[in-house]
Amino acid sequence: MTAKKVGEFTVTPVSDGVLYSNHDVILGVDKDESARLTGVPYGQPLPLDVNSFLIRHDGKLILSDAGTGQALQPVQKNLGKLPANLRAAGAPPEAIDIIMLTHLHSDHSMGLIDEQGRPVFPKAEILIHEVEAAFWLDRKLQPNDTDRIVANSNKQRAVLAPYRDRIRRIKDGPVLPGITATMRPGHTPGHTNWLIESGGERLLIWGDIVHLAAVQLARPEARLIYDVDTDLAAATRAKVLEWAASEKITVAGAHIRYPGFGKVTK
């Protein structure tokens, strides 16, 4: 595990495993081009690393995203490894103080509960942007909602039920000492980035701004079928990539190849 120092913070990538998808989830880039960019022939499984980030600061253990748990089993056999890898990093799930969720999708939140629906992180406070929580947890489902939105809404309400009394809905701005939240919508309505700043150093945990670096850095207009608003997701990605490149900031991505750190250049 390759830890990165950010001033007084130590950020350690922790893998939940690898999710296997396919080229058909990519929109706006033809299949020959996506195959060329990824080096994976069309029709072959397309690997997506699933990373969480363990943040140590001021005696606290903070986790960005909670992995998949058993939600995608048995189809996705290479996932659900976060609890074991946290223990290997010296931070067992029972010791985690705070979990910052970039957004409420299965590969980021379903690891909050075990197969019996019990909380995996029994003392953790959950931070979610208020816009994200309102969309997935509060909103009355509508007749024109897609099947994907209906299914995910039901999943997220179930997975967060055991944490009901430990959820803190946050707004844009400082949320913890040295950590600032910024909503970056499109992939989901309240998709959130976490900026860590300390000692003149910065690290941006950007969640799902980029799923497939080989495709979406070369073709930022490429969207995924999982985006709630594909046009807004593409516009947000372009904005964040421009900012990250101009600021020469280190980024940490949930789906960048493990360990998930990188820098964006034009």
What local confidence, expressed as pLDDT, does residue 2 receive? 87
Structure tokens at 197: 């700043």
Q: Is the pLDDT of residue 149 over 80?
A: yes
What percent of the chain lies above the pLDDT cut of 90? 96
> Smallest Cα–Cα separation from 226: which of 182, 264, 191, 261?
191
Tens-digit pLDDT profile for residues 108-144 = 999 999 999 999 999 999 999 999 999 999 999 999 9
Give 75's pLDDT tier (boundaries 50, 70, 90).
confident
Give 73's pLDDT tier (boundaries 50, 70, 90).
confident
φ, ψ of residue 108 to 5 degrees: the values are -120, -20
What local confidence, expressed as pLDDT, does residue 183 receive? 98
- The distance between the two most distant Cα atoms of the chain, rounded to a whole number of Å, is 50
What local confidence, expressed as pLDDT, does residue 224 receive? 96
80 in Cβ contact with 73 (< 8 Å): yes
Burial of 19 (0-12, 13-18, 19+ CB in 10 A): buried
CA–CA distances in Å: residue 79 to residues 5, 8, 67, 177: 27, 31, 8, 32
Please provide the average confidence, as pLDDT, over all residues in the chain.
96
Query: How many beta carbons lie within 10 A of that of residue 190, not counting itself?
Result: 25
Give 106's pLDDT tier (boundaries 50, 70, 90).
very high
pTM of the model: 0.97
Give 61's pLDDT tier (boundaries 50, 70, 90).
very high
Give 70's pLDDT tier (boundaries 50, 70, 90).
confident
Tens-digit pLDDT profile for residues 17-57 = 999 999 999 999 999 999 999 999 999 999 999 999 999 99
What local confidence, expressed as pLDDT, does residue 140 receive? 97
> Smallest Cα–Cα separation from 67: which of 112, 35, 102?
112
74 vs 48 pLDDT, higher one: 48
What local confidence, expressed as pLDDT, does residue 228 receive? 98
Q: Which amino acid is at 83?
A: P
Query: Can you spell out the DSSP letters for 163-196?
Result: GGGGEEEE-SEEEETTEEEEE--SSSTT-EEEEE
Return all residues near 257 (Cβ < 8 A) that are at least 6 apart: 49, 213
| Helix/strand/coil for 85 | helix
What local confidence, expressed as pLDDT, does residue 1 receive? 65
Element (DSSP H or E) covering residue 86: helix 82-88
The arithmetic mean of pLDDT across residues 248-259, rounded, is: 97
| Helix/strand/coil for 60 | strand
82 in Cβ contact with 66 (< 8 Å): yes
